[in-house]
C-alpha cells in the first residue's frame, strides 16, 4: 500500500449534492474519496428537504450547520466560510436532469466539480458546460469510474504504444439483468428515475450504462466515433425508455465497433466486457474479473497479465495491493478521486499534469459531452430505423 | 459408451465427393462417420483429376475401381453396382459453388445426400434443391455440426419447454483470427477459395461461419428471422469478401438478436458463443468449452450443467462418455452422422422419426436454404448501408 | 453501501505499533480501518527509532507528540491523555517474535488489541496471552483476514446448518511463488524477517501462510484438529526455514483434511483455496476470485453463488457493494475491523455480541493459540519424520 | 485431420478379452482403436459365458466363430487361423485380478498385449510380467490413457527440455464423487468389483485412480519415486477398500510431490489435475479442460498454450483437429492405440521407435509394475500409520 502515501498533504475539503440516506452511488463516492485519505467531506445538500439533508449529514458525522436544504444555499453558505474551512470542491450525485444547473452553479461560485455520469440531459447543456468548465480554470471530473481500473489503464497504454497494432474491431458489452422485470412499477427508487425519460435524459439503458461502454471504448482506443447505427428496444411492457440496445459504430482510422447494452439479461450482474482487436494483437478484459488483462498475439500466444505485477508506472500508480490480493470496484473508483485530488493540487500549484499522470487520466467535461452526444445519436438513429447518423448531428 | 450401439446393424455404404489429400473437412467427415461404426466409405471422387482421386482413395484403403475422376462418373458407376455393394449415400465436401449440381445429381440418381454448409451459392439454387429433396423422398442432411453438441440440444430443449420463458434477446458470436493476415495472398488453400466471391457465394465470413451462427440461433430458439440490418467489413487490404460482420436481427414474437462474426480477431480460435436471454432465465454456452451449459434464473441462481449427467433422453442420445471425460468437436459432428444413419434406416423402414430423435434433429435442406437467405439478406442490407431488409427479400 | 452507515457513531481511536514507512501490512491495516469510518488513527510507535517513527507519523498526518519511539512510551503516553483524546485500542503489526510483549503490555494498560498473525512465537506465550486476554475483559482480535470474506462466512454458515452434510474431507491450499528465489539474500525486507527462525517463530511458510490455511479450515468447518503428520521442506538453498509444507490432518467426527502450503510455486500469487466435501454436498472457494462460492450437490447440480446476491444476513453484513461490483481483499480485511469496532462498542455497552454478529466472527486469542499450536505440531511431526502428533502436544 | 493418415496400411487385427455388453471401458477401447482406422476387431472372449460372449460379438458385427467362451479358447482358436486372418494382438479389459494369467497366456502364444490398468494385483505378478514381456519381443502396452493428451506430452517435453528448470514440487490430484454413497451395496457393477479387495488388488481409489495420478507424475517429470507416506481412508460405511487417499512423496533429485485421490468428493466428476513447479517456471493442466496448458515464468508471465497451435512435433503427432475444435478423452485414448499400432509395425519391421515417437510414448509393462508398487507402498505405509516406506519395499 506504499503508493497510497497520503503523505502529509492535507485532505481536500468537499461538499456533496445528493447522496442522502438510501442512495447507493453517494455512499460509493464517499468511500472512494475516503480510500486514500485525500478528501474530507465537510458539507452537503443531501436531500431535497432540509430535515432529511440534516439527518443524512448527522449520520455522516457532519455538523448541522454544514447540512443544507438546497445546493444553492450550500454554495452560498460554503463560500461565506473562511478558506481552510470551506469546501473547495463539490461532488454531484443527483439524478441526471439536475446536473446541469448544479454544475454550472458550482463553477460560477468557484468550486471544483466532480460530477456523476451521464453529464447532463442534452447536447446543448453539455456543450455549454464544457465551455464554462474550460473558462473557469477549475477541475471538472466526470466519474466514468471504470477507467480507474489499473488493467484498463494498462490496456489503454498497450493500444497507444502500438502493442497490438492499429485497432480494427472493438466489442464492448455492458449487460445487466436487474431491470428484467418491471421494478419501476414496484416503486424501486433506482429503477424509477432511470426509467423516467424526463429525469434520465431520454435514454434508458443507453444513458445509464451505454455511456460507460462508449467511454471505455473511447478511453482505451483513443479513436473518435464518426457515425453509428442503433437499435433500441424496451422489452418490459410499460417501460418508457430502452432497456436494451445494440449499436454499430464507425470510428476514425477505419476501425469498427459494436456496443451491446442491456438491463434485461437475466443472470448478468454488471458484466462490462471489452475486447480490442488490432492488426497484430488483441486485448480482453472483464469488469467482474478486473485483475486480469489477456493479451493475444498473432503468433497464437495468449498471455494473462495480473494487476499488481510489474506493468509500468501507469498501472502501478493505480494500484494499492500486491497481485493476488484482489482489488475491485472501490479501488478503481478511488483512482478517479486520487486523480482528481492531484488535479486540484496541480491547479493550485500552477503545474499542469503530466500526460499519463492519474490527474490527466480522469475523464473531464469533454468526455461527458461525448457521452451525451452518443446517447443523442443513438436516439436519432433508432428513430431513423437504424440509419447511420453522425455523432455530432451534422 | 453403451449408447454407441453399433448393434449388429450393417454400416451404411457411402461415397464422398471432394475431401482428397490435404483437404481438412473431408477427413473430419470421415472420422465423424466412422465414430459409431454406422457408415462405411466405399467410393469417392476425391479430386478433380482421376490420378489424384485414386491416390486419395488408395490412402483410404479403397479399391481403385471405386475411385472416380468426376462425381458424374461416380454416380453412374456406383449406380451400376449391385445393391449391397454400391454406395447408398453421398457426402459432398467440395467448395460451395459446386454443391448445387452435385447434390441435384445425387438426388436424381437416388442417393441420400449429406452436404457441407453453406448449402449453395444462391437463394434460387437453394429453393430448387429444397424442392428436389422433398420430392425425392431421400435423406438430405446439411452438416451444421454445432447442433450436434449435447448441451446445445439441451439448450434447445430448455427453450422449447419454457425453462427460461419467452426469448427476448439472443447474442451469437463466432470469432476467429486465422484470416487476420492476407493468407490467401500466400496461397493458403482454405483461405483461397473462401475469399473468392465466385466460389464462396458472395459472402466471406458471413457465409463461412455466419451461417453456423444463424443456424445455432434458429435451432435453439425455434424463432424465425423476420428482418435484419448488417454491416460487412473487409479489414485485410486486398481481400475481396467480408472478413467481419455485425448483424442486428428482428425475430418472431418480438425477440431480438445480434450476430457478430469475424475472422480477423487475433487470438480467437473458433469462438462460437451463444447467449439466450428469456423473460425468466438465461442460457450460456461456448463451443470451446462445450461440456458445460450455464442456466441462470431470475432468482439470481447460476447453475452449471455438465454434459454426461442426467439431462434427459435428448442429451443422452447425443452422449458417449460419462461426465468429466471430455467429448468434443468430433463427437458432435458424429451425432449428425448418427442422426443421418437413423434417418436413412427410418426411410427404408417407412417409419418417420420421432420429433426429438437424433434423426429429426439433423438439419436439412430447409435449414440450408435459410442459411443462404441469411447471407443474401446480409449482402443486401450492407449494400443498402445497413438498412433493415427482410430475410426472404420480399 | 448502505451497510457502511457508520451512522453518527464516533470513530474509535487507535494507535499502531509497527507499520512505518515501507511496511506493507501496516498500510493495509490502516486502509481497512478507514474503510467504514469507524476507526481513527491517533498515535503510533511506527519504527524502532523515534525519528523514523515521527517521520512515518507525519506522513499519516499525526501530531508529532503522538508519534512515539517505543511501544512502552506509547502506552504510557496515551494512557496519560484524557479519555476522548487517547487511543483506546492498539494495532500490532510488528514481526511475530515481538507480539507477545507488546500485546501483554497493551492488555495490562487497558487497551483493546488487534494483533496480526501468527499470534506469537511459542505455544507457552500463546497460552499466557489467552489467559491474559480473557481476564482483561478487553477485545482481543487476531487478523486472520481471510475469514472476513463474505463468501467464506457464507461457506461457514452452509456447513454449520448442514447444507452439505457432515464434513468428510477438506482441502486447503495456500500457494505463493514470491520466495522461489533467495530473496532474503538480496536483502528484501519482507523475506528477511520471515525467513529468520528467531523472528518468525520457527516456522517459515507454515507460520506465515500455513496458519491462515489452518484458520480457514477451523473457521469454516467448526471441527477440531486432533492430530497431524507434516513434511516441511526448504527448497531454496541456504534458506533456514521451510518454504513448502504438506500436512495431513485428522479432525473430530472422523473428518480428514490436507493442507498444502508453499512459497516457491512460481506463477502462484496468493492462491488460497478451500474445498470442503461433505456427505451430501461440497463447497469450493478461491481467494483470488473471492466473489464466488460454488456449491455442489449429490444430484450433480453445481451452483455458483455470487457475493452481493441475497445470501442471508451473515453475508449481507459483510457486504458493501451489489453483486457484479467486485469487492476484494481490502473489504474482507475491513470486515474484521468492522467486527472489532462492534465488539469494542458491545463491551462498552455491556452487551454480548450475538452468535453470528460481525463481532462474534472476528478471530480471537484462542484462534491465535490454535495457530501457534498448529505450527508447533508441524515442526514436531516433521522432526519425527512425518509421524502423527497431536495438536496440543500431549 | 491430415495426421490421421492411416495411409494405405492395413489395420492390425485384434481380439478383446472382457468388454461385453454393459461394460464401459471395453467400448472405450474399441472406439479409441477405431478412431484412426489402424485397428480392426476380429475376435473376442467378451464374457464369462459363451452365450453372452457371442451375443456381445454379434452386436459388434463379429462372426460367431470368432466369439469365444474363454480367453484360453480364444488364444488357441486364433492361433490356429492363418496369418492375415487371425488376431495379432489382444486387448485385456477384464477386472484387475485376472490380468496376470491372461496377459501371460497372450505373451506365451505370441500375441501383442494391450492391457488396462492397474496392471495386476501383486508386485510379484507385475515383476514376472515385465520379465515375460521383455523376453517375448512383443509389444506390451498399458493403457494409462491420460498420457495420450497432447498437452500432457507437451508438458513432459517442457520439463525434459528444462523449460521450467529442475522440478521442485508436484501436485497431482484425482478427485471423483461417484462413490460418495454406497453404490456397491446397490449392486452397481463398476462399483462392485472395484470395491472388492479380492478383485481390485487391495487398493480401492488408490488402485483405480491413484495409479493414473502416479503415472502422470512419473511420465511428465521423468523422476523416480524413492519413498512415500500415505493415509488411506474409507469414508462410506461398510466399504472394504479406501475411497480416499493422501500420499506425500519424495522423488529423485530432491523433488517432492503430493498426490490426493478421492472418490467421495461430491461434485467432482473426473478431476485429474497436474501442477509441476520447477525452479524457474511452472506448468498447470486439468483433464476436464485438456486443451490448455498453462506455463508460468519467474517473471510473473502466465501463458496459455492451446492444443492445436504450433507446439512442435510431439504435440502435433497427438493432434487431429485445429485449435478451437475441442478434442477430448477419446482422442487421447486413441493416441495410445495409435502409438501401439506404430510399435507393432516397428517390431515387424525391426526398426526401433524414435525416442519421442508415439510408439515410444506408450506406457509399457515397467510403467505397469511401478503402478502396482505404488499401490503396494501406499498400503504398507498406511498400515504403518503413515510412516515413510520405499517404493520397492526394500
Question: What is the least distance, in Å, from the CA of B332 to any CA of chain A?
Answer: 25
The interaxial angle of helices D329-349 and B329-349, nearest 10 deg, is 90
Q: What size, in residues, is chain A?
A: 394
- Partners of C306 on chain B (C-beta within 8 Å) are 300, 302
pLDDT of residue A49: 85
Per-residue pLDDT tens over the stretch B339-363: 999 999 999 888 877 877 888 999 9
* Contact between B271 and D324 using a beta-carbon 8 Å cutoff: yes
Q: Where are the beta strands (DSSP E) in C221-351?
A: 225-233, 244-251, 256-262, 271-278, 281-286, 292-297, 302-306
Question: What is the least distance, in Å, from the CA of A171 to any CA of chain D?
Answer: 20
Q: Using a CB–CB cutoff of 8 Å, tell me whether C182 touches chain D.
A: no
Residues of chain C with pLDDT under 50: 1-6
Q: What CATH code is carried by the domain that includes residue B283?
A: 3.30.360.10
Nearest by CB: D300 against A301, A302, A309: A309
Q: Is residue D131 part of a domain?
A: yes
Report the neighbours of C using a cutoff of 3 or more CB pairs below 8 angstroms.
A, B, D
Nearest by CB: B277 against A264, A296, A387: A264
Return the ∠ at Cα A28 (arms to A24 and A30), rounded to 5°: 120
pLDDT at A327 over 70: yes
pLDDT of residue B5: 40
Q: How far is the C-alpha of B184 from the C-alpha of A227, rounded, in Å? A: 31
Q: Using a CB–CB cutoff of 8 Å, tell me whether A182 touches chain B.
A: no
Which residue, of C145, C178, C205, is where some domain finishes?
C145
Average pLDDT, chain D: 93
Say which residues have a Cβ less than 8 Å from residue C340's Cβ, sequence separation at least 6: C89, C112, C114, C139, C141, C359, C362
Q: What CATH code is carried by the domain that includes residue D132?
A: 3.40.50.720
My answer on whether A165 and A128 are in the same domain is no
Q: Which residues pair with D281 in a beta bridge?
A: D297
Average pLDDT, chain A: 93
Nearest by CB: A248 against B231, B275, B279: B231
pLDDT of residue D17: 97
Say which residues have a Cβ less than 8 Å from residue B335's Cβ, sequence separation at least 6: B148, B149, B150, B318, B358
Q: Which residues pair with B284 in a beta bridge?
A: B275, B294
* Contact between D302 and A303 using a beta-carbon 8 Å cutoff: yes
* Contact between C303 and B302 using a beta-carbon 8 Å cutoff: yes
Candidates D262, D271, D325, D333, partner chain B, best to mutate (most B CBs within 10 A): D325
Question: What is the least distance, in Å, from the CA of C219 to any CA of chain B?
Answer: 26
- Partners of A300 on chain B (C-beta within 8 Å) are 267
Q: How far is the C-alpha of B249 from the C-alpha of B259, rounded, in Å? A: 8
Can the peptide bond before residue B178 be classed as cis, meaning omega within 30 degrees of 0? no
Q: Using a CB–CB cutoff of 8 Å, tell me whether C237 touches chain D.
A: no
Least confident span in B9-18, C165-174, D70-79: B9-18
Least confident span in C67-71, D14-18, D304-308, D383-387: D383-387
Q: Is residue A350 part of a domain?
A: no
Section B228-233 average pLDDT: 96
pLDDT of residue B7: 52
My answer on whether B104 and B178 are in the same domain is no
pLDDT at D7 over 90: no
Question: Residues of B numbered 59-78 whose beta carbons fall under 8 angstroms of chain A's beta carbons: which are they?
Answer: none
- Partners of A262 on chain C (C-beta within 8 Å) are none
Contact criterion met (CB below 8 Å) for A229 and B229: yes
Question: What is the least distance, in Å, from the CA of A311 to any CA of chain D?
Answer: 11
* Contact between C248 and D248 using a beta-carbon 8 Å cutoff: yes
Confidence tier at A3 by pLDDT (50, 70, 90): very low
Question: Residues of C numbered 258-297 whose beta carbons fall under 8 angstroms of chain A's beta carbons: which are they?
Answer: 268-271, 287-291
pLDDT of residue C2: 35
Q: Is residue B244 part of a domain?
A: yes
Number of structural domains chain A divides into: 2
* Contact between A330 and C320 using a beta-carbon 8 Å cutoff: yes
In three-state secondary structure terms, B292 is strand
Section D14-22 average pLDDT: 93
My answer on whether C98 and C171 are in the same domain is no
Which residue, of A92, A111, A145, is where some domain finishes?
A145
My answer on whether D55 and D74 are in the same domain is yes
Per-residue pLDDT tens over the stretch D360-370: 999 999 999 99
Q: Is residue C4 part of a domain?
A: no
* Higher per-residue confidence, D198 vs B145: B145
Section A217-231 average pLDDT: 97
My answer on whether A305 and A200 are in the same domain is yes
Report the neighbours of D using a cutoff of 3 or more CB pairs below 8 angstroms.
A, B, C
pLDDT of residue A1: 39
pLDDT of residue C154: 98
Q: How far is the C-alpha of B115 from the C-alpha of B89, rounded, in Å? A: 11
Per-residue pLDDT tens over the stretch B76-123: 999 999 999 999 999 999 999 999 999 999 999 999 999 999 999 999
* Higher per-residue confidence, A384 vs D156: D156
pLDDT at B9 over 80: no
Q: How far is the C-alpha of C45 from the C-alpha of B364, rounded, in Å? A: 79
In terms of Cβ atoms closer than 10 Å to its own Cβ (0-12, 13-18, 19+), residue D351 is: exposed
pLDDT of residue B4: 41
My answer on whether C199 and C138 are in the same domain is no
Section A170-178 average pLDDT: 98
Contact criterion met (CB below 8 Å) for D238 and D254: no
The rounded radius of gyration (Å) of the Cα atoms in chain B is: 21
Residue-wise DSSP of D15-60? EEES--TT-HHHHHHHHHHHTTT-EEEEEEE-SSSHHHHHHHHHHT
Nearest by CB: C302 against D233, D267, D385: D267
Asked casually if ipTM beats, i.e. exceeds, 0.90, the reply is yes
Residue-wise DSSP of A370-389? HHHHHHHHHHHHHHTTS--E
- Partners of B309 on chain C (C-beta within 8 Å) are 300
Nearest by CB: D302 against A300, A304, A310: A304
Domain range spanning residue A286?
148-320+363-390
Q: Using a CB–CB cutoff of 8 Å, tell me whether A298 touches chain D.
A: no
* Contact between C34 and A37 using a beta-carbon 8 Å cutoff: yes
Candidates C169, C182, C261, C273, partner chain D, best to mutate (most D CBs within 10 A): C169
Q: Is residue C27 part of a domain?
A: yes
Q: Is residue B349 part of a domain?
A: no
Contact criterion met (CB below 8 Å) for A221 and A385: no
* Contact between A303 and D300 using a beta-carbon 8 Å cutoff: no
Sign of CA dihedral D153, D156, D158, D160: negative
Least confident span in A3-17, C127-141, C245-259, D99-113: A3-17
* Contact between D303 and A300 using a beta-carbon 8 Å cutoff: no
Question: What count of CB pairs under 8 Å joins A to D?
Answer: 20
* Contact between A303 and D301 using a beta-carbon 8 Å cutoff: yes
Q: Is residue A255 part of a domain?
A: yes
My answer on whether A179 and A305 are in the same domain is yes
Contact criterion met (CB below 8 Å) for C294 and C284: yes
My answer on whether B133 and B187 are in the same domain is no
In three-state secondary structure terms, C302 is strand
Contact criterion met (CB below 8 Å) for D273 and A271: no
My answer on whether A76 and A96 are in the same domain is yes
Say which residues have a Cβ less than 8 Å from residue A136's Cβ, sequence separation at least 6: A107, A110
Return the ∠ at Cα C67 (arms to C64 and C70), rounded to 5°: 145
Q: What size, in residues, is chain B?
A: 394
pLDDT at D386 over 90: no
Residue-wise DSSP of B128-162? HHHHHHHHHT--EEE--GGGGSHHHHHHHHHHHTT
Q: Using a CB–CB cutoff of 8 Å, tell me whether A176 touches chain C.
A: yes
Q: Using a CB–CB cutoff of 8 Å, tell me whether A196 touches chain B.
A: no
Search chain C and give the residue with CA nearest B323. Answer: C300
Per-residue pLDDT tens over the stretch C327-339: 999 999 999 999 9
Q: How far is the C-alpha of B370 from the C-alpha of D150, rounded, in Å? A: 38
pLDDT at B6 over 50: no
Per-residue pLDDT tens over the stretch A283-315: 999 999 999 999 999 988 899 999 999 999 999
Contact criterion met (CB below 8 Å) for A74 and A45: yes
Section D102-131 average pLDDT: 97
* Contact between C277 and D260 using a beta-carbon 8 Å cutoff: no
pLDDT at D21 over 80: yes
Section B379-387 average pLDDT: 88
Q: Using a CB–CB cutoff of 8 Å, tell me whether B57 touches chain A.
A: no
- Partners of D168 on chain C (C-beta within 8 Å) are 235, 244, 264
Per-residue pLDDT tens over the stretch A134-163: 999 999 999 999 999 999 999 999 999 999
pLDDT at A389 over 70: yes
pLDDT of residue A7: 52
My answer on whether C139 and C151 are in the same domain is no
Residue reference for cell 451497510: C3
Nearest by CB: C168 against D235, D280, D298: D235
Q: Is residue A88 part of a domain?
A: yes
Q: Which residues pair with A38 in a beta bridge?
A: none
My answer on whether B81 and B193 are in the same domain is no
Residue reference for cell 454436498: C281
Which residue, of C145, C177, C212, is where some domain finishes?
C145
Alpha carbon separation from D258 to C18, D209, D234 (Å, rounded):
38, 14, 19
Report the neighbours of B using a cutoff of 3 or more CB pairs below 8 angstroms.
A, C, D
pLDDT of residue B177: 97
pLDDT of residue A4: 41
Q: How far is the C-alpha of B104 from the C-alpha of A300, rounded, in Å? A: 41
Consecutive H or E run containing B39: strand B39-45
Question: What is the least distance, in Å, from the CA of D366 to any CA of chain B?
Answer: 26
Search chain A and give the residue with CA nearest C2. Answer: A22
My answer on whether A66 and A201 are in the same domain is no
| Torsion region of C52: left, alpha or beta (phi above 0 gives left; psi -120 to 50 gives alpha) | alpha
Q: Using a CB–CB cutoff of 8 Å, tell me whether D304 touches chain A.
A: yes
Question: What is the least distance, in Å, from the CA of D307 to any CA of chain A?
Answer: 11
Amino acid at each position: 500500500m506504499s503508493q497510497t502515501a497520503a503523505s502529509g498533504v492535507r485532505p481536500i475539503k468537499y461538499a456533496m449534492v445528493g447522496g442522502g440516506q438510501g442512495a447507493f452511488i453517494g455512499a460509493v463516492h464517499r468511500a472512494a474519496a475516503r480510500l486514500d485519505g485525500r478528501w474530507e467531506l465537510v458539507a452537503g445538500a443531501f436531500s431535497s428537504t432540509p430535515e432529511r439533508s440534516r439527518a443524512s449529514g448527522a449520520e455522516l458525522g457532519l455538523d448541522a450547520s454544514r447540512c443544507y436544504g438546497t445546493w444553492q444555499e450550500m454554495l452560498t453558505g460554503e463560500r461565506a466560510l473562511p478558506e481552510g474551512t470551506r469546501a473547495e470542491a463539490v461532488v454531484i450525485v443527483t439524478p441526471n436532469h439536475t446536473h446541469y444547473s448544479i454544475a454550472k452553479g458550482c463553477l460560477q461560485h468557484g468550486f471544483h466539480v466532480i460530477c456523476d455520469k451521464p453529464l447532463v440531459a442534452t447536447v446543448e447543456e453539455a456543450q455549454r458546460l464544457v465551455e464554462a468548465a474550460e473558462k473557469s480554470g477549475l477541475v471538472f471530473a466526470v466519474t466514468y469510474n471504470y477507467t480507474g481500473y489499473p488493467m484498463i489503464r494498462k490496456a489503454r497504454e498497450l493500444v497507444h504504444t502500438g502493442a497490438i497494432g492499429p485497432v480494427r474491431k472493438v466489442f464492448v458489452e455492458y449487460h445487466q439483468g436487474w431491470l428484467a422485470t418491471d421494478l419501476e412499477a414496484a416503486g424501486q427508487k433506482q429503477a424509477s428515475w432511470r426509467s423516467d425519460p424526463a429525469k434520465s435524459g431520454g435514454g434508458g439503458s443507453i444513458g445509464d450504462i451505454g455511456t460507460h461502454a462508449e467511454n471505455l471504448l473511447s478511453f482505451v482506443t483513443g479513436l473518435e466515433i464518426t457515425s453509428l447505427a442503433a437499435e433500441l428496444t424496451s422489452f418490459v411492457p410499460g417501460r418508457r425508455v430502452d432497456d436494451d440496445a445494440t449499436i454499430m459504430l464507425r470510428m476514425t482510422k477505419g476501425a469498427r465497433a459494436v456496443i451491446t447494452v442491456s438491463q434485461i439479461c437475466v443472470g448478468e450482474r454488471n458484466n462490462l466486457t471489452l475486447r480490442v482487436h488490432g492488426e497484430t494483437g488483441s486485448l480482453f478484459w472483464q469488469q467482474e474479473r478486473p485483475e486480469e488483462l489477456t493479451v493475444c498475439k498473432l503468433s497464437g500466444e495468449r498471455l494473462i497479465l495480473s494487476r499488481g505485477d510489474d506493468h509500468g508506472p501507469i498501472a502501478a500508480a493505480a494500484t494499492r495491493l500486491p497481485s493476488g490480493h484482489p482489488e475491485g470496484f472501490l479501488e478503481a473508483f478511488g483512482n478517479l478521486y486520487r486523480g482528481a485530488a492531484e488535479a486540484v493540487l496541480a491547479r493550485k500549484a500552477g503545474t499542469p499534469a503530466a500526460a499519463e499522470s492519474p490527474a490527466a487520466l480522469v475523464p473531464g467535461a469533454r468526455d461527458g459531452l461525448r457521452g451525451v452526444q452518443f446517447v443523442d445519436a443513438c436516439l436519432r438513429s433508432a428513430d431513423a430505423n437504424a440509419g447511420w447518423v453522425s455523432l455530432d448531428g451534422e
